[in-house]
Amino acid sequence: MIVAVDYGAGNLANVLKAFRYLDEEVSASSSPTTIRQADGIILPGVGAFGSAMDELKKRRLNQVLYEEAKAGKPLLGICLGMQLLFDESDEFGVHEGLHLIPGRVEAFPKDIDLLVPQMGWNQNVVNNEQSIFADVLDGSYTYFVHSYYAKCDQQYVVSYTNYGVKVPSCVEFKNVYGMQFHPEKSGEKGLEMLERFIERVDE
Amino acid sequence: MLAKRIIPCLDVDHGKVKKGINFKNLVDVGSPVEIAAEYELQGADELVFLDITATLDQRKTMAETVEEVSKQVFMPLTVGGGIKSEEAMHELLQSGADKISLNSAAINDPELITDGAERFGSQCIVCAIDVKKDVGTGRYQVYSKGGTENTGLDAIKWAKKAVELGAGELLVTSMDCDGTKQGFDIDLYQQIGEAVHVPIIASGGAGKKEDFLDVFQKTPVTGALAASLFHFGELKIEELKKYLEENGVNVRR
């Protein structure tokens, strides 16, 4: 079973609906035991990095997520949930992340004339052809809502999207995956990507 | 680069999709879930659900409809109409809405925009503005209560204020153009686009694909909304997007 981490940071409902639409058994939980028993973990998230980490720590889930991921369990972070996978973020002061993918999270550069947040459909360019998501991402548009973006070594970048700067839109390090966009809001392509994650969990 | 968005609007009354001509003479065109699913297939980028009679009748909005649609349709959903409190916003967001559109209630109580933005984030709060040009002065004025009441507010000033208060997006409807199919009010969107730095959705007047090209080429709007044009199949979204792409507009295909 897949468990979506329920830690009071953002709306889980639509992520759950997408998995249920795909006939996948999924539940939302904040229980360390349930999360440890899951076959795969989804880390959603909307809001600010620091407060999301605080909510995880309050429930001691940062440790659970770290250990489960290091033990090889498939983990997918979505939107802010992807950003939390990195070492740290600049959002409202420097905050430490989960250290599951090397890299940091920064604001869009101020010297580029951009609407922030990036909100809308943007196109993905594949960087890692080997990824389980590569062929679905290739050239496809997905739905983004974010004000900060990840900076990491390109070996972790599955795909980029261009928003004044090259924004890693999908990242991957072993069994840890992250999507800056909302697959649950990205139509058929988004559902296909969730399907790929389900297949990965079922392996 | 972000794609320009094509947004069908579903005017909902008692759980049914309707479209009024200049907000009157409603014609039933069917079930929200079915229509939403059809639009997803056609390539719509977002959907807006407006409970058009809610403000007038003081009725609650349509959490159940949103819940049903969001179980089957996976794209951004904006819900508006009769939303007057943070609690109502919360209920709709929990039901599956991604954004909340505030109109009359924000005019009566502008702090509602700030309260919503602070609690749910600016990206969740859309300020819908119904605009009519004053024939005498040529100024754009804001109407409320489903377009029935002239508030006396200047549309450009109100747009700026709404953004200052925390609105992350504006949905601006030209009442003069709505239902006429004579094209969008280009001048209106140029003026609002110069005044604010948030995404703007143009609404009212779309009659053919050239109208969309016009509004995307001449104004900074990032989305264009239409209802009857799409509902009655007069223009297929797929065909519209193909046309826009051929003419250099970045769209999701």
For A18-42, the pLDDT digits (tens) are 999 999 999 999 999 999 999 999 9
The CATH classification of domain B5-247, taken from the options 3.30.565.10, 3.30.450.40, 3.20.20.70, 3.40.50.300: 3.20.20.70
| Interchain pair A117, B168: CB under 8 A | yes
With respect to residue A95, please indicate whether it lies within any of the assigned structural domains. Answer: no
With respect to residue A94, please indicate whether it lies within any of the assigned structural domains. Answer: no
pLDDT band at B53 (very low <50, low <70, confident <90, very high): low
Chain A residue whose CA is closest to B42: A187
With respect to residue A64, please indicate whether it lies within any of the assigned structural domains. Answer: yes
d(CA B4, CA B213): 10
B61 has a pLDDT exceeding 60 = no
Beta strands in A127-174 (DSSP E): 141-146, 148-151, 157-163, 165-173
pLDDT at B55: 52
pLDDT at B57: 46
ipTM of the complex: 0.90
Q: Which of A46, A141, A187 lies nearest to residue B40, judging by beta carbons? A: A187
Using alpha carbons, select from B106, B151, B148, B107 the residue that is nearest to residue B115: B106
| Interchain pair B197, A115: CB under 8 A | yes
Q: Any CB–CB contact under 8 A between A121 and chain B?
A: yes
- Domain spans of chain B? 5-247
- Span A57-67, pLDDT tens digits: 999 999 999 99
In degrees and rounded to multiples of 5, residue B182 shows phi and psi of: -105, 10
d(CA B166, CA B164): 5
Q: How confident is the model over B217-226, as a mean pLDDT?
A: 97
pLDDT band at A10 (very low <50, low <70, confident <90, very high): low
Q: Hey, how many other C-beta atoms are within 10 angstroms of the C-beta on A98?
A: 23
pLDDT at B96: 92
Beta bridge partners of B142: B131
With respect to residue A164, please indicate whether it lies within any of the assigned structural domains. Answer: yes
pLDDT at B166: 95
Least confident stretch, A153-157, B28-32, B142-146: B28-32
Indicate the burial class of B32 (C-beta count within 10 angstroms; 0-12, 13-18, 19 or more): buried
CATH of the domain at A31: 3.40.50.880
pLDDT at B21: 37
Structural domain range at position A30: 1-88+100-200
Best A15, A17, A80, A146 member to test B by mutation, with max B CBs in 10 Å, is A17
pTM, two decimals, is: 0.92
| Total number of domains in chain A | 1
- Span B197-207, pLDDT tens digits: 999 999 999 99
